[in-house]
């Protein structure tokens, strides 16, 4: 059995199966549209990035079969699917349902779900993304919608044989704690809703539910609406009874507009801080950041020198941290965030370098 579980986030936008994506990407191939049309914004800007596997529909089982083989042969054994619920129905669920779950070799991988419950705005639509990011759909839900969401998750996914579990409990991650609390009506109602979620998971035949919170560093939260009553994400995780924490992206908690090695040196301090706050922390490694493919104008804030060699150094540090703290799950951003320039899939610039780095550090 693999000693470390290496879990890569999947952004499920590279498909034309989802009809509602046409409002953002009218060409009918999802966000591949933005990847294809990305152009360099300055001399030396490494755009466009071209996928060596091709611009394939990731809601097709044949595509995911190829990617499962690639991931499992390089030490990535878990996919974390970004999962959305907007306007009382799921969004971009087809990459998981039609792609991964219909792949013939799906048994080679585990998966779990991160509810990406952030608001959706104009950022995804490159034609108007340079303007204000006005919300199109809200990510917050009330208790009625929360129950519908959690019923769907428990009934459709937790009993899948490939669903990832910790201590036998299915893992479910939540991205935006502010939206969760605001939608449910406060901290106490959120605690009660999460308790109900745990109870229905047990009733479905599982020994419990492993709730994971995505941390945003020193982001403060006003839970009561009263000035001065603020808590950090990590403190909220403890109050609400989350079982673990991890991160989604370095850009959420450090300045990424500098050399990768400088960023990583600061990240190491954050890992230790996150681990000291009373809730199990699983280390997270980000490959890079540059979201210019989503915009026509230049967007400042680009991680530099994020080569496969430097990424490999960060993986060794994550492995050492995991050994020190007695954990075996490491999350990576990401498998396929092409429009944020943080992906493991092979491209025209570094080839298979990032995947080879994981194989060298974790492959056995």
Would you mind telling me the total number of residues written for the chain in this entry? 364
pLDDT score of 273: 93
Percent of the chain scoring above 90 in pLDDT = 91
The pLDDT tens digits for 274-292 are 999 899 999 999 999 999 9
pLDDT of residue 236: 86
| pLDDT at residue 280, rounded to an integer | 97
Is 0.95 surpassed by the pTM of this model? yes
What does the pLDDT look like over 7-47, one tens digit per residue?
999 999 999 999 999 999 999 999 999 999 999 999 999 99
How many CA atoms, within 13 angstroms, populate the side-chain half-sphere of residue 301? Answer: 14
CATH number of 5-362: 3.20.20.80
Helix/strand/coil (H/E/C) assignment for every residue in 214-241 = ECCCCCEEECCCCCCCEEEHHHHHHHHC
Helices and strands in the chain: count of H runs, count of E runs: 10, 13
Return the pLDDT at 277: 87
The pLDDT value recorded for residue 225 is 47
Give the separation between CA 271 and CA 310, rounded to whole angstroms: 18
Spatial separation of the C-alpha atoms in residues 306 and 331, rounded to whole Å? 17
Query: Which residue stretches of the chain have pLDDT < 50?
Result: 1, 225-228
CB 195 within 8 A of CB 155: no
Please tell me whether the peptide bond between 48 and the residue prior to it is cis, using omega within 30 degrees of 0.
yes
Mode of pairing for the β-strands spanning 280-281 and 284-286: unpaired
Q: Where are the domains of the chain?
A: 5-362
How many other C-beta atoms can be found within 10 angstroms of the C-beta atom of residue 153? 21
Alpha helices in the chain (DSSP H): 32-36, 61-73, 94, 143-153, 177-184, 187-203, 233-240, 260-275, 308-325, 353-362
């Amino acid at each position: 059995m693999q000693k470390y579980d290496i879990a890569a986030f999947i952004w499920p936008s590279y498909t034309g199966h989802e009809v509602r994506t046409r409002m953002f990407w009218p060409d009918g191939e999802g966000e591949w549209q933005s990847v294809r049309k990305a152009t360099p914004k300055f001399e030396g800007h490494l755009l466009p990035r071209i996928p060596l596997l091709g611009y394939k529909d990731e809601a097709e089982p044949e595509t995911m079969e190829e990617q499962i083989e690639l991931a499992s042969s390089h030490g990535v054994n878990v996919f974390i699917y970004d999962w959305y619920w907007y306007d009382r129905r799921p969004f971009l669920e087809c990459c998981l349902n039609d792609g991964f779950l219909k792949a013939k070799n799906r048994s080679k991988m585990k998966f779990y779900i991160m509810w990406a419950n952030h608001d959706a705005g104009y950022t995804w639509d490159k034609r108007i993304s340079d303007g204000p990011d006005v919300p199109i759909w809200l990510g917050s839900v009330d208790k009625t919608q929360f129950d519908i969401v959690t019923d769907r998750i428990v009934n459709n996914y937790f009993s899948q044989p490939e669903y990832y579990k910790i201590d036998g409990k299915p893992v479910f991650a939540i991205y935006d704690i502010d939206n969760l609390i605001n939608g449910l009506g406060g901290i106490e109602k959120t605690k009660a809703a999460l308790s109900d979620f745990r109870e229905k998971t047990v009733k479905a035949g599982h020994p419990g539910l492993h709730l994971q919170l995505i941390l945003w560093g020193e982001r403060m939260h006003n839970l009561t609406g009263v000035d001065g009553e603020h808590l950090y994400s990590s403190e909220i995780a403890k109050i609400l009874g989350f079982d673990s924490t991890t991160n989604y992206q370095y850009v959420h908690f450090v300045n990424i507009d500098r050399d990768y090695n400088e960023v990583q040196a600061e990240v190491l301090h954050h890992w230790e801080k996150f681990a000291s706050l009373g809730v199990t922390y699983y280390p997270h490694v980000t490959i890079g950041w540059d979201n210019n493919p989503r915009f026509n104008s230049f967007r400042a804030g680009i991680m530099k020198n994020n080569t496969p060699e430097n990424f490999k150094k960060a993986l060794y540090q994550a492995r050492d941290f995991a050994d020190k703290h007695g954990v075996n799950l490491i999350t990576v951003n990401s498998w396929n965030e092409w429009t944020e320039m943080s992906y493991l899939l092979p491209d025209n610039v570094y080839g298979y370098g990032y995947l080879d780095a994981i194989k060298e550090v974790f492959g056995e």
